[in-house]
Amino acid sequence: MHVAILDREKCHPKKCNHECQYYCPPVRSGTPTIEFLDYQDEPVINEPLCIGCGICVKRCPFGAIKIVSLPEESGEMLHRYGVNSFRLYSLPTLERSKVTAVLGKNGLGKTTALNILSGITIPNLGNYEQKGDMDKVIENFSGSVLGDYFRSLYSGKMKVVLKNQYVDKIPMVVSGTVRNILQDADETSKMDYIVERMGLENILSRDIKECSGGELQKTAVAVALLKESDTLLIDEMSSYLDIGDRVSISLLLQELGKTKNMMIVEHDLAILDWLADTVFPVYGEPGAYGIVASPRTTSRAINSFLEGYLREENVRIREYQIQFSTRNWKRSVAGDIFLEWKDVTKKLGSFRLTSARGAIRTGEVIGCLGRNGTGKTTFARLMAGVLEPDTGEFSRKVRIAYKPQYIYPSFEGTSEEMLRSVLKSRYEETFNKAEIFRPLDIEELMGSIVKDLSGGELQRLSIALTLAMDADLYLLDEPSAHLDSSYRMTAAKVIKRVMENNKKTAIVIDHDLYFIDLISDELMIFSGVPGVEGISHGPMNMRDGMNEFLSSVGITFRRDGLSHRPRINKPGSTLDKQQRESGEYYYLDTK
């Protein structure tokens, strides 16, 4: 079965003279498969008449049309947004006193599923011409766990709290200080406890409009935890947070989750693995349809995701398998030293960064780890020449391609126009198209206006643009931000391959430990007092660097027996105790 999906934000019929209609074979033979109705300025595709030839897809200059195939046994359609629009099949279920997770690419309906489970969206059971009906939903799920769930939800017997993923929108809908916002939300009389556990003491008097992304995220989670609830739904809690905050919030969620239903959507696989008890994988075509697969144990679900194959459903969700190196601390380091620095300092307001000395080599990828506010971005800007050091120096000037942490697009035009404008002749190079643009799916963004791109799309475009530049050193500041789990692994693979093939060097700052472990040959660690003092250490080998960083965070790692991926040990477990006693917070060498 195939269906037509139309992205109405990308459709601009006045600019293309209805090409998709004129070139559609059924339309040309007299069958109105694609119509432009008088009362609307966009096409309507008659899906039962569509033969799935794909000609309209190729003719559309804006990439607004998709023809996708649905599995034969996709289950009963739960919700559909409209004609030629996204479809969601089935829902994940919650279990008392357990943390359930949903894992999948962006655009597959994970947020839609949480909105349905919270009661914000009433599913229309596929009939988009009518509003969702609570009685029909209860009847549809009668005799099942979801039937009991919706009966309690719609009758008001169960209170559900949803933490939205779009924390950057908070200042647009609420006002006041963080303290006032938390006081207004507090229904549990646990405000002092939550504030202490989440480290919010220093920002209580700050106006919400002056908060950083990480501070907004912690405030949003705190508000959700302070409300009385039977069910807690958390949509992406790790965005903008460093690994220390991710760990402390995960511990708090594990503690509070023992008395309620809890479901999370999370792209940091290390945190998801540590926090969740059960995982529902979601597969399908982003923006077209999503299918919630059967539940699995956390370990099995993540291994299946990395393998790219769901065995129970017999569905391949990725063309390749993601593999982690078992040579976990002596990684291949190529080339000679091409850049050194010593006695570098920089003072910005009340913050001071110090980097005694260090050196980087040709052909390696250096990962940077540290708490927010300890100078990682400042160091990257010093190397990029955006800032000048107060003291010290770098041994030579090198050509640097820099992807900043926060991306604010000012380019007026499409993604293709921006790439051509910046890259010039390098835009046409076969290597860039095959090894950078294609795996990051940049082709589907070419006709889109840069300012209209989502956070994840903008991140992919920015990574591709940076890697396609001609430079000696590539600085990428938080490239995993806004990317789903799949694109994070893809981006890591692309960065690594570009450096190896072109004999270049990259410095990558990130908080996703899977991402850093997968990509890094060596590590730089940033310590100090956030916002006051930052001290850089290294580069150093993976084992020394990870031991130093993990000990400061208070967690230990082990290798998964099948995928060799890093896994956080449960606090107090036998292996956790053994590694702490031996001082080996990072897994031991397996070769």
Cα(267)–Cα(480) distance, integer angstroms: 9
Regarding whether 532 and 386 lie in a shared domain, the answer is yes
Q: Which residues of the chain carry a pLDDT beneath 70?
A: 1-4, 8-9, 17, 19, 22-23, 26-32, 36-42, 47-48, 68-75, 325-334, 588-591
Amino acid occupying residue 37: L
Mention every residue, 6+ apart, whose C-beta is less than 8 A from residue 58. none
Residue 39: which CATH number?
A: 3.30.70.20
Concatenated DSSP letters for 44-60?
A: EE-TTT-----HHHHH-
449 in any annotated domain: yes
Q: How are beta strands 337-348 and 351-361 bridged, if at all?
A: antiparallel
Mention every residue, 6+ apart, whose C-beta is less than 8 A from residue 79. 87, 88, 112, 116, 121, 123, 124, 125, 126, 132
243 in any annotated domain: no
Cα(90)–Cα(280) distance, integer angstroms: 11
- Among 69, 91, 118, the domain-final residue is 69
Regarding whether 402 and 527 lie in a shared domain, the answer is yes
Predicted local confidence at residue 2, as pLDDT? 57
Predicted local confidence at residue 590, as pLDDT? 45
- Among 18, 39, 69, the domain-final residue is 69
Residue 384: which CATH number?
A: 3.40.50.300
Predicted local confidence at residue 4, as pLDDT? 66
The neighbouring-strand residues paired with 80 are: 87
Regarding whether 382 and 504 lie in a shared domain, the answer is yes
187 in any annotated domain: yes
Regarding whether 65 and 176 lie in a shared domain, the answer is no
Burial 157-167 (b: 16+ CB within 10 A, else e): ebbbbbbbbeb
Encoded tokens for 108: 């597959």
Judged by DSSP in three states, 329 sits in coil
456 in any annotated domain: yes
95 in any annotated domain: no
Instruction: Reply yes or no: is the peptide bond before residue 26 cis, omega within 30 of 0.
Output: no
Helix-strand-coil split of the chain, %, nearest 5: 35, 25, 40
Regarding whether 348 and 221 lie in a shared domain, the answer is no
Residue found under tokens 């800032």? 387
Encoded tokens for 457: 């799309």
Regarding whether 526 and 394 lie in a shared domain, the answer is yes
201 in any annotated domain: yes
259 in any annotated domain: no
Crossing angle for the helix pair 191-198 and 243-256, nearest 10 degrees?
150
Distance spanning both ends of the chain, measured CA to CA: 49
Cα(142)–Cα(138) distance, integer angstroms: 6
Crossing angle for the helix pair 455-468 and 485-502, nearest 10 degrees?
0
- Among 228, 244, 270, the domain-final residue is 228
Q: Which of 23, 45, 28 is nearest to 36 (CA)?
A: 45
Amino acid occupying residue 330: K
Regarding whether 490 and 342 lie in a shared domain, the answer is yes
383 in any annotated domain: yes
The neighbouring-strand residues paired with 537 are: 525
SS (H, E, C) 275-303: HCCEEEEEEEECCCEEEECCCEEHHHHHH
Predicted local confidence at residue 72, as pLDDT? 46
The neighbouring-strand residues paired with 284 are: 290
* Count: domains in the chain: 3
Instruction: Domain of residue 520: give its range.
Output: 337-555
Cα(170)–Cα(215) distance, integer angstroms: 11
Regarding whether 525 and 388 lie in a shared domain, the answer is yes
Regarding whether 46 and 176 lie in a shared domain, the answer is no
Query: What count of other Cβ atoms lies within 10 Å of the Cβ of residue 343?
Result: 12
Predicted local confidence at residue 437, as pLDDT? 96
Predicted local confidence at residue 69, as pLDDT? 57
